[in-house]
Chains A and B, each alone.
Chain A
Amino acid sequence: MTLAEMQFQVPDLRLASAEIFMLLMACLILVGDLLVKDEKRTLTFVATQLTLIGAAVITFASSSGETAYTFSNMYVGDLMADLLKLLLYLTVIVILFYSRGYILERPQMARGEYYSLALFATLGMMVMISASHLVTVYIGLELLSLSLYAMVAMNRDSVPATEAAMKYFVLGALASGLLLYGMSMIYGATGTLEIPAIAERLYMGQFDKGILVFGLVFLVSGLAFKLGVVPFHMWIPDVYHGAPTAVTLFIATAPKLAAFAMVMRLLVNGLIVVSQDWQAMLIILSVLSMAIGNIAAIAQTNLKRMLAYSAISHMGFMLLGIVTGVVGGDARFALNAYSSAMFYVITYVLTSAGTFGMILLLARGGLESDELDDFKGLNRRSPWFAAVMMMMMFSMAGIPFFVGFFAKFSVLQAVVAAGHLWLAIVAVAFSLIGCFYYLRVVKIMYFDPPTNTSPIEAPLDMKILMSANGLAVALLGIFPQVLMSLCAFSLLRSL
């Protein structure tokens, strides 16, 4: 297809039908919510959930398994995008169930807007996942980020939340600037913004190496900001800590899927030819993240803050899968490495949702329970939910039979296959350090006497979902094959 033909074509809307549906529904819900009184806010909740389910049906039905482009090559539909989007809907559905009680108990929060902002953020992530053009990546990212800034600030009377939102906004804007600057340099070096075309020109050698590497540094910095890896991690602890827990839950889960997609689209799909350059940068970021994340987490007394540092270390670990795809110009291990990283991200999101969900489960009556001490003696109060939380912690620590072990296992396997034995040793050394603070949570729940003996009250739907989340962590740990091969298969068809 030549360029001239394409300009007169009506874009193939079917490929992007899920995004279009999501946009329409988000606008409808935003307007519709204005007409709903507080008592009937459940309507907004139901409509939001139905929208997500509808989007899932559309994505599933329109998935052909083939890679196809539309909107003048700005948008790509492939199996990786379909899989990530389906997981994204699922994650957001679960998040909304978890947050519902929390939102209801806080009249000062803009309740209806939480749902429409969540939908817009989801739309932004969908666009990021399906972006095959630098501008599309940027638009998706900004839609996500702006929704998140607003969500963090939604608790208007809270000083920490406002501060967190401000920090998030300023640093996020800076990161967007870095990313945009890097993109413009890459455009300067290659003369195109389309990701497949960039890859092609790099492959043909039609680029200015100096400018490209200059742009790459900015691009990687911008990505690192969004992923939250050291040294671009400063916003993570403050935002996780300051934001209302329901919003922290959102930030800590779904965007990780989109960030993974963004890394794949930009670095792997677009810039694989210069993988040597960005892999070297990412190795440093990864090791630093594992080091700082795991060590700083030890010193935290607030669970949200501890999990923020843990998130930094997990993103660092995930990057290990990204940096081992190409070894000395040989891309034999690429599928193995990238699918390991994908598996890692998915399991991290699953576990992280359960962990923050547990904080929400305990936070009742308008009070937060995000201090480590709030979990004291949880085993006496509710043996089952203590067990669920324990499974989450052991999964994050990478202890079998929980899914986190196989996530670490598959990434380490890719690292060893790539011949980076020393990197694997560094990774396990920091995992050992990380294990300490996860064990401490278990210790607090099981070995310490409770300070608060009230039984746990939570809506039935949340209890069921929370239990399912825990069982998923355990069952995927015993039968990881299905999800692993799903990741590998979707990448095989997409790369």
Chain B
Amino acid sequence: MSGTPLLSLAIWVPILAGLVVLATGSDRNAPLARALSLIGAVAGLLVTIPLYTGFDLHTPAMQFVELKPWIPRFNVNYHLGVDGISMLFVILNSFITVTVILAGWQVIDSKVAQYNAGFLIMSGLLNGIFSALDGVLFYVFFEASLIPLYLIIGIWGGPNRVYAAFKFFLFTLFGSLLFLIALLYLFISSGGSFSILDWHRMPIGITAQTWLFLAFLVAFAVKVPMWPVHTWLPDAHVEAPTGGSIVLAAIALKLGAYGFLRFSLPIAPDASHELAGLVIALSLIAIIYIGFVALVQEDMKKLVAYSSIAHMGFVTLGFFIFSPLGVEGALVQMISHGFVSGAMFFSIGVMYDRAHSRLIADYGGVVNTMPKFAAFFMLFAMANAGLPATSGFVGEFMVILAAVEHNFWVAFAAASTMIVGAAYTLWMYKRVVFGSVANHHVAELSDINGREFLVFVLFAIGALGMGLYPQPFTEVMHSSVDELLRHVALSKIQ
């Protein structure tokens, strides 16, 4: 596999496809734009498959590495590579892009080319984030990915879209600007290297580590998002079109969590141990408090948005327990959340396209008019609640197990989500789907069509497959996670 620059293909195939789609221009060519986008998205997914099949399970080292000088003036390199931690996200992201293109197929009828191109370009940029091994390259992809989502929320979003788009952009930018200074500091103190792997090995004093850790924390906590900097997420989700919500929940939130593993833990291990209590506390607040906040939501999208924050709390909790089970559980949770939250937002989108409401109160008895839909929605609601045999269970269970080893009360608090999570998801499901037909809007609903069925099946394969047989997902992580934890256990203070 050495010859083909697979990661470059994973990044640039969708971006080029996006530019081609843009070139189709006005809505007269909408069918062409749609077809080209689907071809681009599928091609983007196909080029990532060899990443999995050609992956070497026995090494924690970076694989499929590409290294070319980019800006020699500042020793910035076009340095790509994936390990067991990042590889799955590249595939997940390319997969989600296919579902997003399908999800917007009939729904988006104005500026189709721009809409699809936005998602394709974003897909490439997100792949770039997961495979960048150079600090500047990472940062450039990290910030550039804000632009397409800003436009997608702002152009195709709901009534309050402008506010949501600005809030999303400025919140995230706020975090990443401090991150930029941290990168520059590392560049200067490492004697002129932007290589993330060099930074992993570089000794750093505890004061500098603490400041770096805090700068990373701000950047990634906004992105995850962690309490108390989570407020942009519900707004962004509520206003974004369905596709935007899917990408936001399934991939964009993972960037923050991924940042912790790539930057915070290995670059500032001592500070990570020192401040683990802080992150664990914030995670528990997210799990419990945000869980209760989700319970009282009247808007389905807001409910799922808050539930995403709670689920991401599990992820950050798993990281800062510093045990293989915890980190792997968190990674599994991230991928599972990609399928499940994507599917939840798609389900809400399916109803919204028909009845133009996201309020729980406007529904009731949907099962009578949309039985097939109700079955799929049931599956994903269960997965969201963490039912065994769905992917939602595996990650949460692993994290809770690891937390028990760490501290019983932390585990106890985290485990309460099993109840709260089930409560808000199933209660919503009950109010929306069961009961008698609530009003004439519900009575007029038509069940899902073939395209929607296909999208649901794609998500269901992910959620069920991972729940029943998580081995293929976890086995690729082992070496990288073990190596990471070995590294984090060593002090960098000299």
Chain A residues near B (Cβ < 8 Å): 379, 383, 394, 399-401, 405-406, 409-410, 412-413, 416-417, 421, 424-425, 428-429, 431-432, 435-436, 439, 442-443, 446-447, 480-481, 484-485, 488
11 A-B residue pairs with Cβ-Cβ distance under 8 Å, sorted by A, are A399-B143, A400-B141, A400-B144, A410-B74, A416-B185, A421-B185, A435-B173, A436-B170, A442-B151, A447-B165, A484-B71
- Determine whether B181 belongs to the interface, using a CB cutoff of 8 Å to chain A: yes
Minimum CB distance partner of B186 in chain A: A416
A436 lies within 8 A of B73 (CB): no
Residues of B within 8 A of A436 (CB): 166, 170
Residue on B nearest A431 in the bound complex, by CB: B177
A481 with B73: CB separation less than 8 A: yes
B166–A400 CB distance below 8 A? no
Could you say which of B25, B74, B181 contacts A425, with CB atoms under 8 Å apart?
B181
Q: How far is the CB of B236 from chain A (nearest CB, A)?
A: 14
Contacts of A443 in B (CB 8 A): 154, 162, 165-166
Quick check: is B139 within 8 A (CB to CB) of the other chain? yes
- B144 contacts A399, C-beta separation under 8 Å: yes
Complexed CA–CA distance, A30 and B51 (Å): 67
Name B136's contact: one of A379, A409, A442, A488 (CB within 8 Å): A409
CB atoms of A428 and B181 under 8 A apart: yes
- Contact indicator B161/A447 (Cβ below 8 Å): yes
Min CB gap B254→A, angstroms = 20
- In the assembled complex, B180 has its CB within 8 A of some CB on chain A: yes
In the bound complex, CA of A386 to CA of B170 (Å): 21
In this complex, the member of B25, B141, B184 whose beta carbon has the largest number of chain A beta carbons within 10 angstroms is B184
The answer to whether the Cβ of B293 comes within 8 Å of any Cβ in the partner chain is: no
Q: Is the CB of B177 within 8 A of A432?
A: yes
Closest 4 CB pairs of A and B: A428-B177, A400-B140, A416-B184, A447-B154
Bound together, the chains give a CA A375 to CA B154 distance in angstroms of 16
CB-based contact B73/A400 at 8 Å: no
User: For residue B73, which residues in chain A have a CB less than 8 angstroms away from its CB?
Assistant: 481, 484-485, 488
How far, in Å, is B192 (CB) from chain A's closest CB? 10
Residue of A nearest to B69 (CB): A481
Whose C-beta in chain A lies nearest to the C-beta of B141?
Answer: A400
Q: B184: nearest residue on chain A (CB-CB)?
A: A416
Report A-chain residues with C-beta under 8 Å of the C-beta of B188.
413, 416-417
Q: Any chain A CB within 8 A of the CB of B146?
A: yes
Contact at B170–A435, with CB atoms within 8 Å? yes
B178 within 8 Å of A (CB atoms): yes
Determine which of A400, A480, A481 lies in contact with B139 in the assembled complex, contact meaning CB atoms within 8 Å.
Answer: A400
Decide if A439 touches B166 in the complex (CB within 8 Å): yes
Q: Using CB atoms and an 8 Å cutoff, list the residues of chain B in contact with chain A.
A: 25, 70-74, 111, 114, 136, 139-141, 143-144, 146-147, 150-151, 154-155, 161-162, 165-166, 169-170, 173-174, 177-178, 180-181, 184-185, 187-188
A492 → B minimal CB distance (Å): 12
Take A431-B177, A443-B162, A443-B166 as given contacts and tell me if A400 and B143 are in contact as well, using a CB distance cutoff of 8 Å.
Answer: yes
A342 shortest CB reach to chain B, Å: 13
A436 to B25, CA, bound (A): 29
CA distance A399 to B136 in the complex (A): 13
CB of A399 within 8 A of CB of B147, answer yes
Interchain CB contact under 8 A, A481 and B71: yes
B72 touches A432 (CB 8 A): no
Determine if A401 and B140 form an interchain contact, defined as CB atoms under 8 angstroms apart: yes
Inside 8 A of B111's CB, which chain A residues have their CB? 379
A432–B171 CA distance with the chains assembled, in angstroms: 9
* Known contacts A413-B187, A481-B71; is-contact A424 B181 (Cβ 8 Å): yes
Q: Which chain A positions have C-beta within 8 A of B181? A: 412, 416, 421, 424-425, 428
Is A432 in contact with B184, judged by CB distance below 8 angstroms?
no
Determine whether the beta carbon of B71 is less than 8 Å from that of A480.
yes
Do B173 and A432 touch across chains, with their CB atoms under 8 A apart? yes
Query: How far, in whole Å, are A9 and B144 apart by their CA atoms in the complex?
Result: 58
Residues of chain A within 8 A of B166, CB atoms compared? 436, 439, 443
CB distance from B171 to the nearest CB of A (A): 10
Chain A nearest CB, measured from B244 CB (Å) = 14
Task: Give which listed residue, A400, A417, A439, contacts B150 with CB less than 8 A.
Answer: A439
Cβ-closest chain B residue relative to A415: B184
- Residues on the A chain within 8 Å of B144, using CB: 399-401
In the assembled complex, the Cα of A428 lies from the Cα of B74 at a distance in Å of: 20
Collect the chain A residues with CB atoms within 8 Å of residue B74's CB. 409-410, 413, 484
Please indicate the chain A residues that have their CB under 8 angstroms from the CB of B180 in the complex.
409, 412, 428
B181 nearest CB neighbor, chain A only: A424
* C-alpha spacing A379/B136, complex, angstroms: 31
Taking CB atoms, residues of chain A closer than 8 Å to B155 are 379, 446-447
For B25, list chain A residues within 8 Å (CB).
383
Q: How far is the CA of A409 from the CA of B188 in the complex (A)?
A: 13
Assuming A399-B143, A401-B140, A412-B181, is B170 touching A446 (CB within 8 A)? no
A412–B136 Cα distance when bound, in Å, is: 13
Extra contacts besides A400-B139, A481-B73 (13): CB < 8 Å: A379-B111, A379-B155, A394-B147, A401-B144, A405-B143, A409-B136, A410-B74, A421-B185, A428-B181, A429-B177, A435-B173, A439-B166, A481-B71
Contacts of A405 in B (CB 8 A): 140, 143
Of the candidates A406, A410, A439, the one having the most CB atoms from chain B within 10 angstroms of its own CB is: A439
Name the B residues within 8 Å of A480 (CB-CB).
71
Which residues of A have CB within 8 Å of B154? 442-443, 446-447
Q: Would you call A446 and B151 a contact (CB within 8 A)?
A: yes
Q: Could you tell me the distance between the alpha carbons of A410 and B139 in the complex, rounded to whole angstroms?
A: 14
Closest residue of chain A to B140 (Cβ to Cβ) is: A400
In the assembled complex, the Cα of A406 lies from the Cα of B111 at a distance in Å of: 31
Nearest CB of A to B87, in Å: 24
Given contacts A421-B181, A432-B177, A447-B162, contact A439 B139 (CB under 8 A): no
Residue from B136, B139, B173 whose CB has the most chain A CB atoms within 10 Å: B173
Nearest to A406 among chain B residues (CB) is B71
Residues of A within 8 A of B141 (CB): 400
Whole-angstrom distance from the CB of B3 to the nearest CB of chain A? 24
Looking at the assembled complex, report how far the CB atom of A236 sits from the nearest CB atom of chain B, in whole angstroms.
26
Interface centre among A379, A400, A424, A488, by most chain B C-beta atoms within 10 angstroms, is: A400
Q: Smallest CB–CB gap between A73 and chain B, Å?
A: 33
- Quick check: A481 and B173 within 8 Å, CB to CB? no
B72 proximity list for chain A (CB < 8 A)? 481, 485
Q: Which residues of B contact A406 (CB under 8 A)?
A: 71
B158 → A minimal CB distance (Å): 12
B109 to chain A, nearest CB (A): 15
Specify which chain A residues have a CB less than 8 angstroms from the CB of B147 in the assembled complex: 394, 399
Which B residues are in CB contact (< 8 Å) with A379? 111, 114, 155
Taken together as a complex, chains A and B put the C-alpha atoms of A401 and B136 apart, in Å, by: 11
Chain B nearest Cβ from A259, distance in angstroms: 24
A439 x B178 contact (CB < 8 A)? no
Question: Could you say which residues of chain B place their CB within 8 Å of the CB of A481?
Answer: 70-73
Chain B: CB-nearest residue to A401: B144
| Minimum distance in angstroms from B209 CB to a CB of chain A | 15
Cα A401 to Cα B144 in complex, Å, equals: 6
Q: Which A residues are CB-close (under 8 A) to B114? A: 379, 383
Least Cβ–Cβ distance between B108 and chain A, in angstroms: 15
The residue on A at minimum CB distance from B110 is: A380
Asked if A413 and B184 sit within 8 Å, CB to CB, the answer is yes
Closest to B26 in A: A383
Q: Distance in Å from the Cβ of A422 to the closest Cβ of chain B?
A: 10
Chain B nearest CB, measured from A230 CB (Å): 22
Query: B136, B139, B180, B187: which has the most chain A beta carbons within 10 Å?
Result: B180
Which A residues are in CB contact (< 8 Å) with B169? 435, 439
Instruction: Give the docked Cα–Cα distance between A399 and B180 (Å).
Output: 12
State whether B174 touches A432 (Cβ < 8 A).
yes
State how many angstroms separate the Cβ of B122 from the closest Cβ of chain A: 13
Q: Chain B residues near A410: list those with CB within 8 A.
A: 74
Min CB distance A344 to B, Å, is: 14
Chain B residues within an 8 Å CB radius of A401: 140, 144
Give Cα A399 to B174, complex, Å: 12
For residue B380, give the distance in angstroms from its CB to the closest CB of chain A.
31
**Could you say which of B155, B169, B177 has the most chain A C-beta atoms within 10 Å of its C-beta?**
B177
Q: What is the minimal beta-carbon distance from A352 to any residue of chain B, in angstroms?
A: 21
